[in-house]
Amino acid sequence: MLSAVRLTRALLPALLEHSGAIVNVSSINARLPFPMVVDYSAHKAALTNLTTALSEEFAPQGVRVNAVSPGPVRTPNWTADGRLADSMAAASGVTRDQVLDEGVPTNMGIALGRMGESHEIADAVAFLLSPQARWITGTDLVIDGGTIKAA
């Protein structure tokens, strides 16, 4: 959390001069905290709140501030040896691939039936930083394959 604050402070003069944009990477855990990652969830909730506050403060000066909140994405945190998929596989008696391909999508209720890919998150960040998103600020774009159901 403090790294986002420090980086924003350091870059703010240039962002104000050039009507720049910030995209913070939060998580669906900001909305769906899990007991096993309470510190992570609290951090991401604070980052999402920071995004909203900064968007309100700096929009009048031409700086857009948004966030993306990914759901489960196939990153080394899930896929590397000894990481989340291995831990879940050991606990449930299935293979790592079964956890990644079936267990996570089913247990987390991912409507699209699969975990996300990192390039899908990067594409959303690139869009929010682009001129095509010049009228978007203060939003938290949830990219989770339908894990969080809209109300």
Indicate which residues carry an active-site annotation.
40
Query: Both ends of the chain: CA-CA distance in Å?
Result: 28
Residues with Cβ within 8 Å of 24's Cβ and at least 6 positions away in sequence, in order, are 4, 47, 48, 50, 51, 65, 66, 67, 68
**Is the CB of residue 105 less than 8 Å from the CB of residue 111?**
no
In 3D space, the residue among 78, 77, 74, 84 whose CA is nearest the CA of residue 120 turns out to be 74
